[in-house]
């Protein structure tokens, strides 16, 4: 355990009128430092996760964090990017600085502002996280990419529409208790299962309720080395972690296996010395419901082709075998690309310190798992968190 989360902050996710990338970064930076009980002068290094890909005209954003305090001036600050796993890439980069003894305290911020971009341009921006020679002209953008994955899964293992609707309904129900969530409405299984004017098909077998939201938002965490963390207000340690990168072209792999995600889970669980059933909850990357279903198999909850059974049996609901996305996930919480991974770590730290919002808190949470994915299982990050103070 070389690094711990000692403080955090989280903005609301959604269409945030009057906000900018800069204002979001400044707010969560100030709040995270205050929550950690430190001043800006205590920070040794800054890592900003910001995907952008055309969402922001300001494309040199690492130093925007310095706008939060003059005391951050002259600190090393770096922007990192790894598609939809950008937030976790920033977190892991911060841990590496601590492991290398290059920093004692690292501020990690994730941010994205997407809603000011016109719809067709949003689709083009997101498709930049795919392999353009093969998928650059996919209708419906990245939803089209996962629509093809869902169609292929259905062809191999049978129609999973009931399971996808259960996943969507679960996450929307969970999101009601999350004050940061973009959509706090319990839509119910029947609405998610049924095609309607309000829930049309978007791509392949995926309906609107199967797709995550276009969002603005930011989150921040403060990392400290373990010795320093144990002298602070709280300490949520990284008991294990892994980052696995896979081929970008889907044609070079069996896309229905999420092999990079399976490798990341296996390595992180081994690093932590635990098994999947030792975890109290998981926050996973449900950019589309079919992704969450396949991730059940990648994390070892179900054999290949049986992820749908896990959903239908209620094993991943709060109170089930392993609650997945008690926050509502990307489906209800929202998915501001660069902020997502940092948000997962902040919300998991809340769970483990017993400070998650009422109705979202998992009773007696001891170990939390996080899976953040970039592209179609290309960038795969897993963190295993445990409270040690």
Q: Per residue in 136-150, pLDDT tens?
A: 999 888 999 999 999
Q: Is residue 40 part of a domain?
A: yes
Q: How far apart are CA 342 and CA 9, in angstroms?
A: 10
pTM exceeding the 0.95 threshold for the entire prediction = yes
> For the chain, which residues score pLDDT lower than 70?
none
Q: How far apart are CA 344 and CA 370, in angstroms?
A: 7
Q: Is residue 274 part of a domain?
A: no
Q: Is residue 278 part of a domain?
A: no
Q: Per residue in 347-384, pLDDT tens?
A: 999 999 999 999 999 999 999 999 999 999 999 999 99
Q: Is 265 left (phi over 0), alpha (psi -120 to 50) or beta?
A: alpha
By the 8 A CB rule, do 72 and 109 touch?
no
Q: Tokens 């040794």 sit at which residue?
A: 44
Q: Is residue 324 part of a domain?
A: no
pLDDT value for 2: 87
Question: Any idea what the Cα angle at residue 375 is, between residues 313 and 55, rounded to 5°?
Answer: 120
How far, in whole angstroms, is CA 287 from its chain's centroid? 9
Return phi, psi of residue 182, to 5°.
-70, -40
Q: How far apart are CA 135 and CA 132, in angstroms?
A: 5
Q: Is residue 34 part of a domain?
A: yes
Number of domains the chain contains: 1
Q: Is residue 107 part of a domain?
A: yes
Q: How far apart are CA 194 and CA 189, in angstroms?
A: 9
How many residues does this entry show for the chain?
A: 389
Range of the domain at 93: 3-117+214-229
Q: Is residue 302 part of a domain?
A: no
Q: Is residue 191 part of a domain?
A: no
CATH of residue 59's domain is 3.40.47.10
Residues in Cβ contact with 339 at an 8 Å cutoff, skipping those fewer than 6 apart: 11, 13, 49, 87, 110, 111, 112, 217, 218, 219
Q: How far apart are CA 33 and CA 49, in angstroms?
A: 17
pLDDT value for 1: 72
pLDDT value for 140: 87
pLDDT value for 14: 98
Pairing outcome for strands 281-283 and 236-245: unpaired
């Amino acid at each position: 355990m070389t690094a711990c989360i000692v403080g955090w902050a989280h903005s609301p996710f959604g269409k945030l009128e009057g906000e900018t990338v800069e204002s979001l970064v400044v707010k969560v930076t100030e709040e995270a430092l205050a929550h950690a009980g430190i001043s800006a002068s205590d920070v040794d290094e800054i890592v900003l996760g910001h995907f952008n890909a055309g969402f922001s005209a300001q494309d040199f954003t690492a130093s925007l964090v310095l706008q939060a305090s003059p005391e951050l001036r002259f600190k090393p600050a770096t922007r990192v990017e790894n598609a939809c796993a950008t937030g976790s890439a920033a977190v892991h980069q911060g841990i590496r600085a601590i492991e290398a003894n290059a920093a004692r305290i690292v501020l990690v911020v994730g941010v994205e502002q997407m809603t000011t971009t016109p719809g067709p341009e949003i689709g083009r921006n997101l498709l930049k996280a795919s392999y353009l020679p093969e998928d650059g002209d996919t209708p419906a953008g990245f939803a089209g990419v996962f629509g093809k994955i869902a169609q292929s899964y259905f062809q191999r293992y049978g129609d999973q529409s009931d399971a996808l609707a259960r996943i969507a309904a679960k996450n929307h129900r969970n999101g009601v208790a999350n004050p940061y969530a973009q959509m706090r409405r319990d839509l119910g299984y029947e609405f998610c299962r049924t095609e309607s004017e309000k829930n049309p098909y978007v791509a392949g077998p995926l309906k609107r309720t199967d797709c995550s939201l276009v969002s603005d938002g930011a989150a921040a965490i403060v990392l400290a080395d373990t010795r320093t963390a144990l002298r602070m207000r709280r300490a949520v340690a990284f008991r294990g972690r892994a980052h696995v990168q896979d081929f970008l072209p889907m044609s070079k792999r069996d896309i229905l296996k999420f092999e990079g995600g399976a490798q990341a889970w296996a390595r992180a669980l081994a690093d932590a010395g635990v098994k999947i059933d030792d975890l109290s909850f998981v926050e996973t990357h449900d950019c589309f419901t079919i992704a969450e279903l396949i991730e059940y198999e990648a994390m070892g909850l179900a054999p290949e082709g049986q992820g749908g059974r896990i959903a239908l049996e209620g094993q991943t609901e709060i109170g089930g075998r392993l609650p997945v996305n008690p926050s509502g996930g990307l489906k209800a919480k929202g998915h501001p690309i660069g902020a997502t991974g940092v948000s997962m770590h902040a919300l998991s730290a809340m769970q483990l310190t017993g400070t998650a919002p009422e109705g979202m808190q998992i009773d007696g949470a001891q170990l939390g798992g996080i899976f953040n994915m970039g592209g179609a299982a290309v960038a795969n990050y897993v963190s295993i968190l445990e409270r040690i103070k």
